[in-house]
Amino acid sequence: MTHPAQPKASHFINGEYVEDTAGTPIPVIYAATGEQIATVHAATPAIVEQALSTAKAAQTAWARMTGTERGRILRRAADIMRERNHELSVLETYDTGKPLQETLVADATSGADALEYFGGLAASLTGEHIPLGDDWVYTKREALGLCVGIGAWNYPTQIACWKGAPALACGNAMVFKPSETTPLCALKVAEILIEAGAPAGIYNVIQGMGEVGGALVTDPRVDKVSLTGSVPTGKKVYAAAAEGMKHVTMELGGKSPLIIFDDADIDNAVGGAINGNFYSSGQVCSNGTRVFVQKGIKEKFLARLAERTGNAILGDPMDEATSFGPMVTENQMNIVLGYIEKGKEEGARLICGGKRADMDGYFIEPTVFADVTDDMTIAREEIFGPVMSVLDFDTEEEVVARANDTEFGLSAGVFTKDFTRAHRVIGNLEAGSCFINSYNDAPVEAPFGGVKASGVGRENSKEAIKHFSQVKSVYVRMGDVEAAF
């Protein structure tokens, strides 16, 4: 019997499901059991061509619609996503293995927020009038044209919407390629947009590995590439986009600092560290994986952290009581277990976890290392799993310098009751998305993105509009033209 997660076909182009079984089969594995639940096929060159030419053809008419009309469609899509939240959350759980307890509140709902927010902004994308005596300049905010979105595997619905909603609000068309690991959810986003009244062809989804992404990025018809992925992939995609002088948004990895001063409320700080390391089993780019704790409260903090981490419920992700799911794939599990071994070898003190959980699926116990030093591998490299490194510090000056000593710059957080210090420390940290007495909140109203190797551009908020549109300026002369000859 066909599994309910199996999509009707692999791709969604020009308003309908499209199949081409000549493409390499991609098995979809449910991370909680290891069973294959669906198969899709990578896009063949013919499918890539169909998606790009369809999107290119559909974009002009879409951009000519009024912002109010475009916005209405996006807001209707948001409503449909919210009505179907349960069904979409179950699919997200099949796609990623994340527990339903999370997917019910963080995935289709976050996608719907983006559709609603950018739907609301679509009608407000206006230009300026700049008077110059009798003459004047006016500006228009125009679409870029054909945009490509490429997603990572940790938030397949959210990423499809965070890229699609602002792109479409600005009058662009999109071809979206999900990660080969999680190909299911973006198809539903495309389906819902059509149901909401979007013209066929403005949002297309095609499957494939890096080579399909590469074909999209290098196509001369493509005006913009928005990638969520790792830093090495980001470097390749950025370079390929530069060849064609394309616009880019790069949402890449991180190794973010979470700094806890000794005046912090311990339970809130522990809660922040848990949210910043164990949500989605640690598979979150903005995670605060270097937890710097001031020496005075170190042991108290560790004791409370171990106690609360012991309350994590590992189990069937479809059971809403489960609060901690598996790694997305066996491969990702092995990578993370490798880092845990490195942590032990390099002398970090294991506080809790530290091994694969004794159950089916790709579960790793939530793991905390203490006495981690700046040079240890687990403190330098992005692990993308449930491994928290706790480091000690004495002074504010010292911790800021150590926190900034990394190639990454996605996020940073600080816990303290001293508000002057909180703002000063955040001001001195090299990071794009920051938190004071909190961690990992990502409302659509707030810009999201990194500095240094963690990325270029911002998603969400009004900032995203700047990255999916461009300004045309028009000089208007009222008098005669003077010329030298």
Catalytic residues: 163, 251, 285, 459
CB neighbours of residue 5 within 10 Å:
15
- Alpha carbon distance 251, 432 (integer Å): 11
Q: Which of 44, 154, 256, 440 binds ligand NDP (CB under 6 A)?
A: 154
Candidates 1-9, 172-180, 186-194, 395-403; binding stretch for ligand NDP (CB under 6 A): 172-180
Does residue 431 bind ligand NDP (CB under 6 A)? Answer: no
Chosen residue from 285, 291, 340, 442 binding ligand NDP by CB under 6 A = 285
Distant-in-sequence, close-in-space partners of 482: CB < 8 Å, separation ≥ 6:
none
In the sheet that holds 257-260, the strands lie side by side as: 349-352, 367-370, 387-393, 290-294, 257-260, 411-415, 433-436
Shorter beta-carbon distance to ligand NDP: residue 253 or 315: 253
Instruction: Please report whether residue 95 would count as binding ligand NDP according to CB under 6 A.
Output: no
Per-residue DSSP letter, 221: T
At closest approach, how far in Å is the CB of 227 from ligand NDP? 6
The minimum distance between CB 305 and ligand NDP, in angstroms, equals 23
Tell me which stretch binds ligand NDP (CB under 6 A): 11-19, 76-84, 86-94, 247-255. 247-255
CA distance 422 to 400: 12
Interacting span for ligand NDP (CB under 6 A) from 124-132, 210-218, 371-379, 466-474:
210-218
CB of residue 177 to ligand NDP, shortest distance in Å: 6
* Cβ(7)–Cβ(187) below 8 Å: yes
Task: Find the binder of ligand NDP among 214, 244, 271, 447 (CB under 6 A).
Answer: 214
How many Cβ atoms sit within 10 Å of the Cβ of residue 33? 15
- Enumerate residues 377-396 that contact ligand NDP by CB under 6 A: 382, 384
In terms of C-beta distances under 8 Å and separation of at least 24 residues, what long-range contacts does 57-62 make, across chains too? 57/201, 58/14, 58/173, 58/199, 58/200, 58/201, 58/202, 59/143, 59/145, 59/146, 59/171, 59/172, 59/173, 59/202, 61/199, 62/168, 62/171, 62/172, 62/173, 62/199, 62/202
Q: Minimum Å distance from CB 254 to ligand NDP?
A: 6
Is 77 a residue that touches ligand NDP (CB under 6 A)?
Answer: no
Which residue lies nearer to ligand NDP by CB, 225 or 293?
Answer: 225
Q: Which residue, 67 or 450, has its beta carbon nearer to ligand NDP?
A: 450
Amino acid in position 112 = A
Q: Which of 5, 57, 209, 426 touches ligand NDP (CB under 6 A)?
A: 209
Radius of gyration in angstroms for the set of CA atoms belonging to the chain, rounded to a whole number: 24
Nearer to ligand NDP by Cβ, of 278 and 384: the residue is: 384
CA 387 to chain centre: 20
Query: How, if at all, do strands 224-228 and 146-150 pair?
Result: parallel
Q: How far is the CB of 335 from ligand NDP (least distance, A)?
A: 10
Per rule CB under 6 A, is residue 230 in the interface with ligand NDP?
Answer: yes
Q: How far is the CB of 320 from ligand NDP (least distance, A)?
A: 24
If the CB atoms of residues 179 and 367 are measured against ligand NDP, the closer one turns out to be: 179
Q: Is 441 helix (H, G, I), strand (E, B) or coil?
A: coil
Binding ligand NDP by CB under 6 A: which of 201, 229, 325, 353? 229
**Contact of 384 with 329, CB cutoff 8 Å:** no
Q: Select 108 or 152, whichever has its Cβ closest to ligand NDP.
A: 152
Please count the other Cβ atoms lying within 10 Å of the Cβ belonging to residue 304.
17
- Provide the minimum distance between the beta carbon of 457 and ligand NDP in the complex, in angstroms, as a whole number: 10
Query: Quick count: other Cβ atoms within 10 Å of Cβ 9?
Result: 17
Of 7, 97, 119, 151, the residue at the interface with ligand NDP (CB under 6 A) is 151
Q: Does 411 bind ligand NDP (CB under 6 A)?
A: no
- Element at 351 (helix H, strand E): strand 349-352
Q: How far is CA 97 from CA 82, 179, 205, 367, in A?
A: 21, 14, 21, 19
Q: How far is the CB of 321 from ligand NDP (least distance, A)?
A: 26
Q: How many CA atoms lie within 13 A of 425 on its CB side?
A: 30
Q: Which of 95, 102, 116, 180 binds ligand NDP (CB under 6 A)?
A: 180
37: which 2 tokens?
A: 């639940």
Which part of the chain contacts ligand NDP (CB under 6 A), choosing from 95-103, 248-256, 339-347, 371-379? 248-256
Single out the segment in contact with ligand NDP by CB under 6 A; choices: 76-84, 111-119, 212-220, 475-483.
212-220
Our finding on whether 251 is near ligand NDP (CB under 6 A) is: yes
Kindly state the smallest distance separating residue 97's Cβ from ligand NDP, in Å: 14
Q: Are the C-beta atoms of residues 108 and 82 closer than 8 Å to each other? A: yes
d(CA 383, CA 289) in angstroms, rounded, equals 9
Q: Give how many residues touch ligand NDP by CB under 6 A.
A: 31
For ligand NDP, the binding residues (CB under 6 A) are: 150-154, 177, 179-181, 209-210, 213-214, 217, 227-230, 233, 236-237, 251-254, 285, 382, 384, 410, 450, 455
